[in-house]
Amino acid sequence: MRRLAFAFLIACGIAVTGCRKKPAAPPAPKPPASPAPAPAGPVFRLHFAGLNSLSTDPDNAKLNGLLNSQEAIAMRRQTCDRLAVSLADTIFGADASHRARRAALLRPLLDDLAASKFLLSVPDSPGGSWLLTVFLTPSQRASWSTNLWQATDSPPVALPAVTASNSAWSTKIRNGSLLTVAVFDDCLMLGKSASGTPAASSAAGSSSAGHPALSPNLIDITADLPRLQAALGLPKSIAWPHLSVSVTAKGQTLRSEATLKFASAAPWKLDAFRLPTNSVRDSVGDPLISFTAVQGFGNWLAHRPEFKEWELLSTPNQLFTWARKDVPYNLLAAVPMADASNTVVRAAPHALHSLGTNITKAGIGRIAFTTNRTEIGWVGMPILVPFVRPAPEPDNDFLLFGSMAGIVPTGPNTNPPPVELLNQFLPRTNLVYYDWEITEAKLAQWMPIFQLTAMLSPNPSFPGAAAANQWLRAVSPKLGNTITEVTAVSPTELKAVRRSELGLTAIELTVLTRWLDNPAFPAFAYPTNAMPGLPTMPGAKK
């Protein structure tokens, strides 16, 4: 009912704040003979139970500690300080003269948002419409309404009450959209819609199945990626699915479930996993800290122009990656490839020409082909020496990739992976992706790799004193195993399940903290003039 009431309030806001005299509408075009049905539901919806919900459940003590530690609070403070500035322009329209004042008014509201239960919904309508429902205390609802009122350009217009306990107002903002605020007895609803269009009321939506914000999960996300493809700049070469995600707290861990539904049957082909048994090694003193097996991508890969340029004799359909504890920078991967030695020889001229030319121009080393090892390597960088060579398999039927050419397995494998690990994926016929890692140990790998690659580019390295980086270092020793499985439910549906302590893998946590610490946050790309770069590397043209 509240959502229907809010839709009515937006309609009232359009009527009150709209122009009295409107131009005559052009003749409506004739509909097509067989119109395609409009997709149902919003293009994006996010529900969050709020950080306060964790503190009330003793079973979530560890998660609560990870997200509400001193370092976590400092990270949220830094993020909210920066986010308030960008939200000032997002909500009210870009205006440098009022940006600082509006950011100061929005800043305390972000603390409430992180702590409280809320639902953000984005309908598929023009004008950037959205609706935010936040469950707040009476004093918080009053503060939100007051601060948002004070941040507006023009005097807001009070709207007629639709219930005995609600109040509402609306105003036109700088970009011509309509901003509406409605205060109910347990929540506040803030909506933005394209002013004067019939679709404006869809910002609130309508539902007879109850309020989605009352979900028992910690997080719920739905995203219609096909309809978001253009807005998000997603590659057109991928048939994007409809995505739904739920995250629940299960004692000391999080359980994340995701469903990916495709419009048509996907071309993945699932075979029995064939492991490069002589390459993947484990030992007591130098154990595995991660292992990944993925398959089903062969048909997609075969149609990529970039792959076709290599003119390989076969197309891999499986990929395995793993890492051990011995060397922080050492990552290994393997793909099935018939006649691997001749494949490397055939690929060498193309690598020397295409990759070598670009790398030499960038001044970060050179591509070299070492004939006695049948190895293509990127040499001349500090520490890292990415390479590809035949894997040490008896049938010469795997290619081995890695980050350090000098550290590769040789001889018979007397230390195979644990049987318990292999049994998690080898017997399963519908498994598309399996990933296991000791997240603390993987963070110890990914963080220096990110630092090193940043040194080789115009982008800055991790700012050591930045809040998100400090938080990641503080929580790292408290993180254990993260396991992710993706299975094919049908030719049009994938299901992913993850068990973790923070919901993210080591590389995802590293990317997240680097983004949050970006001086240009919420932009993803770092400023490119922040570092002078390295001196010319050996082998580079001067």
DSSP state of 103: H
pLDDT at 16: 52
Predicted model pTM:
0.86
- Are residue 212 and residue 294 in the same domain, yes or no? no
* In-domain check, residue 386: yes
Say if residue 95 is exposed, middle or buried (CB neighbours under 10 Å; 0-12, 13-18, 19+): middle
* In-domain check, residue 374: yes
* In-domain check, residue 30: no
- Are residue 333 and residue 464 in the same domain, yes or no? yes
pLDDT at 540: 44
- Does 118 score more than 50 pLDDT? yes
* In-domain check, residue 269: no
Number of residues in the chain: 542
Say if residue 270 is exposed, middle or buried (CB neighbours under 10 Å; 0-12, 13-18, 19+): middle
- Are residue 311 and residue 185 in the same domain, yes or no? no
Residues 526 and 460 sit within 8 Å (Cβ to Cβ): yes
Q: Which of 139, 138, 121 shows the shortest CA–CA distance to 130?
A: 121
* In-domain check, residue 262: no
* Parent domain of 484: 288-516
In this structure, what token pair is assigned to residue 60?
């979530």
- Are residue 310 and residue 219 in the same domain, yes or no? no
DSSP 340-373: HHHHHHHHHHHIIIIIHHHHHHHTS-EEEEETTT
The C-alpha atoms of residue 149 and residue 11 are separated, in whole angstroms, by: 19
- Does 533 score more than 90 pLDDT? no
- Are residue 295 and residue 220 in the same domain, yes or no? no
| Neighbouring residues of 115: CB distance < 8 A, sequence distance ≥ 6 | 50, 51, 52
* In-domain check, residue 274: no
Catalogue the long-range contacts made by 87-91 (C-beta closer than 8 Å, 24 or more residues apart).
88/151, 91/151, 91/173, 91/179, 91/192
- Does 393 score more than 80 pLDDT? yes
Position 142, amino acid: A
The conformational region for residue 41 under phi > 0 = left, psi -120 to 50 = alpha, else beta, is left
Q: Where are the alpha helices (DSSP H) in 267-323?
A: 298-302, 305-308
Residues 437 and 293 sit within 8 Å (Cβ to Cβ): no
Give 3-state DSSP helix, strand, coil % of the chain, rounded to 5. 35, 25, 45
The C-alpha atoms of residue 161 and residue 185 are separated, in whole angstroms, by: 13
Using one digit for the tens of pLDDT, what is the confidence trace for 415-464?
Answer: 888 899 999 989 888 999 999 999 999 999 998 888 877 776 665 566 66
CA 54 to chain CA mean position, Å: 23
* In-domain check, residue 157: yes
Distances (CA, A) of 203 to 15, 131, 140, 169, 471: 16, 6, 23, 15, 36
* In-domain check, residue 523: no
Using one digit for the tens of pLDDT, what is the confidence trace for 17-70?
Answer: 554 333 344 344 444 444 444 456 789 999 999 999 887 777 788 888 899 899
Using one digit for the tens of pLDDT, what is the confidence trace for 189-201?
Answer: 999 987 554 333 3
- Are residue 445 and residue 310 in the same domain, yes or no? yes
The count of structural domains within the chain is 2
- Are residue 221 and residue 332 in the same domain, yes or no? no
- Are residue 207 and residue 296 in the same domain, yes or no? no
- Are residue 292 and residue 226 in the same domain, yes or no? no
- Are residue 223 and residue 335 in the same domain, yes or no? no
Beta bridge partners of 193: 178
